[in-house]
Structure 1
Amino acid sequence: MNWEDATSPKSLNVSRETFERLEAFVYLLKKWNPKINLVSRNTLSEVWFRHVQDSVQVFRLVDPKPHWVDLGSGGGFPGLVCAILGAEASPNTKFTLVESDQRKSAFLRTVIRETAVNCSVISRRIEAVEPLNADILSARALSDLSRLLFFCDRHLRKDGVAVFPKGATWKKEMFTAQQEWNFTTETANSLTDPQAVILKIKGVSRG
């Protein structure tokens, strides 16, 4: 699949209503990006494949749960895309986006308002936020796995699941994290990068 294949409701396997929400999101992303650099300019022309499709696959790896928390949400990937899909697929799921950058938080709130999804933004550093008791925890391009598991220990329910897209170095990160943490992992091959995977992690505790 290339990025052009992800620019229709059929290719993403979503309804027209959900696709219109995604279009509104992408429109605002392109409008805001020159000022606050939400995504790399090199990837903006491929936003549907490199960012939207990449986030859609994260949403589809887990079953709906009451509270989904996305850490370091930045330009809204994957958390805000997941919230848009959840508006129809899982309307009772509450999404919380944690983003310390005030300008990026303003962007996220603008998209939430325009798309009318069940989502809120916490504009604080992840370490300073009170434990969020998430059923599902996601983060993309935020930190290495060891640091992400530290965040899981703070913000993920004991019976919760974390979903982390990871690039070509994921095996090295896994080995390092296993020296400090206990956890179980399932891996799913990424649809957007042959070297990448999505890690589905449960049972996080200190080693």
Structure 2
Amino acid sequence: MMQDEAAAKAWLANLDEADAVAMDRLGRLVAMLAEENKVQNLVSAASLDAVWLRHIVDSAQLLTHVSRETEEGAWLDLGTGAGFPGLVIAALCPNREVVMVESRARRIDWLNRVISALDLPKASVVGQRLELVESRTVSVISARAFAPLEKLIKLSARFSTSDTLWLLPKGRSAGQELAELKQTLRRGFRVEPSLTDAEAGLIVGHLNPKGVKL
């Protein structure tokens, strides 16, 4: 379990996707985040003291659950907010399409500025509420603290096939949220431990779209 910035950076250095160019992108993202946080509250000020652990590696760890079958294709990040995990995934995987959904105007502006500054042509922002986003199918769906699990699944099932990988950081509530999910939805999901927080979990797995009643 990583407990400080040095451990987080050491872990990241061993990630296949974290080459020198990607690390430079992430360093610039961290610097931009610190500056922008003075203007708008993107993340808690306290979390900036451990930004590599709390935001960068907390996002990058999702890549360890991506198999060869889902390492290509579009990645859809819902309610991306400050850009976690979406911007981190885009910085580490610049050749992959990463679509970030965010409805707040100032966040949209921030995300687009970072995409431009880090030269991420395959990353994009859909500036709408999720309910209004045009349906499509994607390879990966992620969402960090976006909505309660059942609501999230019902809102997002239209982007998923049975092959779509769901990666949902849920903090301390992961096990409870999954246990409370109806069995028809729960099947195919599991809780994996977070590498950055001993008490947090990630809900990982695949959805049977037939189990979702919209």
Name the structure 1 match of 2:196.
192
Q: Report how many aligned residue pairs link the two structures.
A: 202
Q: Does 1:58 align with 2:33?
A: no
From 7, 14, 19, the equivalent of 1:15 is 19
SS in 1 for 2:164: strand
Q: CA deviation at 1:11?
A: 3.6
Q: Deviations over 1:59-108 (max 9, x none)?
A: 22113121100001111101110111112xxx2x2110000011101111
Name the structure 2 match of 1:101.
104
Q: Does 1:26 align with 2:30?
A: yes
Aligned-partner Cα distance in 1 for 2:4–2:155: 32
For residue 112 of structure 2, what is the amino acid of its counterpart?
R
Whether the aligned pair in 1 keeps the contact of 2:160 and 2:207 (CA below 8 Å) is no
Q: Does 1:206 align with 2:207?
A: no
Q: CA deviation at 1:119?
A: 0.2
Q: Deviations over 1:4-43 (max 9, x none)?
A: 22564x4412211110000111111111112221111121
Whether the aligned pair in 2 keeps the contact of 1:3 and 1:47 (CA below 8 Å) is no
Aligned-partner Cα distance in 1 for 2:7–2:42: 20
Name the structure 1 match of 2:79.
72
Aligned-partner Cα distance in 2 for 1:102–1:183: 37
For residue 81 of structure 1, what is the amino acid of its counterpart?
V
From 154, 163, 185, the equivalent of 1:150 is 154
Give 4+ residue runs of structure 1 displaced > 6 Å after superposition: none
SS in 2 for 1:181: helix
Aligned-partner Cα distance in 2 for 1:149–1:191: 24
Tell which deviates more after alignment, 160-169 or 10-19: 10-19
Aligned-partner Cα distance in 1 for 2:192–2:33: 28
Whether the aligned pair in 2 keeps the contact of 1:65 and 1:136 (CA below 8 Å) is no
**Counterparts of residues 113-128 of structure 1 (less than 5 Å):** 113-117=116-120, 118-128=122-132
Aligned-partner Cα distance in 2 for 1:139–1:109: 19
Whether the aligned pair in 1 keeps the contact of 2:175 and 2:201 (CA below 8 Å) is no
**Counterparts of residues 162-173 of structure 1 (less than 5 Å):** 162-173=166-177
Aligned-partner Cα distance in 1 for 2:183–2:162: 20
Aligned-partner Cα distance in 1 for 2:7–2:27: 12
For residue 61 of structure 2, what is the amino acid of its counterpart?
Q
Normalised by the size of structure 1, how large is the TM-score? 0.90
Q: 1:6 to 1:119 in 2, by over 3 A?
A: farther
SS in 2 for 1:50: helix
Q: CA deviation at 1:182?
A: 5.0
SS in 1 for 2:134: coil
Aligned-partner Cα distance in 1 for 2:160–2:189: 15
Q: Which ranges in structure 1 are unaligned for 5 or more consecutive residues?
A: none
Whether the aligned pair in 1 keeps the contact of 2:174 and 2:191 (CA below 8 Å) is no
Aligned-partner Cα distance in 2 for 1:183–1:116: 39
Q: Which ranges in structure 2 are unaligned for 5 or more consecutive residues?
A: none
Q: 1:7 to 1:17 in 2, by over 3 A?
A: farther
SS in 2 for 1:100: coil
Name the structure 1 match of 2:3.
2
- Percent identity of paired positions between Structure 1 and Structure 2: 33
